[in-house]
């Protein structure tokens, strides 16, 4: 796996940890597995299994400051996916 993808994985996990801290939810078990288009991230959110899919391109782009639009889209997607399992926040949150 290219270094850019490894950096992308670290970036995504850090964003999820930050969001979980802000939402005061328990997140554990970060596990990456390959899929057809890239990788799936399997995590446990408040004792529920959550799977998030990322393309190789997502992983290569997300930690790069030149791709602000991709970063913003991924951050929004991460929030939406977590909200499916924990409900929307009572106040506005950000990264």
Give the pLDDT of residue 71: 74
- Domain assignment present for 14: yes
- Domain assignment present for 32: yes
- Domain assignment present for 51: yes
User: Per-residue confidence at 41, pLDDT binned at 50, 70, 90?
Assistant: very high
Domain that holds residue 9: 3-83
- Domain assignment present for 58: yes
- Domain assignment present for 89: no
- Domain assignment present for 93: no
- Domain assignment present for 92: no
Q: Which residue has the higher pLDDT, 87 or 52?
A: 52
Distance CA 42, CA 37 (A): 15
- In what helix (H) or strand (E) does residue 54 lie, and over which residues does it extend? strand 48-55
pLDDT exceeds 60 at position 50: yes
Report whether 22 contacts 45 (CB < 8 A). Answer: no
Mean confidence (pLDDT) of the chain: 82
User: Per-residue confidence at 46, pLDDT binned at 50, 70, 90?
Assistant: confident
Q: What mean pLDDT comes out for the span 25-42?
A: 92
Give the pLDDT of residue 83: 78
- Domain count of the fold of the chain: 1
User: Per-residue confidence at 43, pLDDT binned at 50, 70, 90?
Assistant: very high
- Domain assignment present for 22: yes
């Amino acid at each position: 796996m290219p270094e850019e993808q490894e950096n992308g994985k670290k970036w995504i996990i850090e964003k999820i940890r930050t969001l979980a801290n802000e939402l005061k939810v328990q997140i554990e078990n970060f596990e990456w597995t390959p899929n057809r288009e890239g990788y799936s991230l399997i995590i446990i959110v408040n004792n529920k299994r959550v799977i998030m899919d990322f393309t190789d391109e997502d992983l290569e782009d997300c930690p790069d400051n030149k791709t602000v639009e991709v970063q913003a889209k991924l951050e929004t997607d991460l929030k939406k996916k977590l909200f499916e399992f924990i409900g929307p926040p009572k106040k506005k949150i950000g990264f």
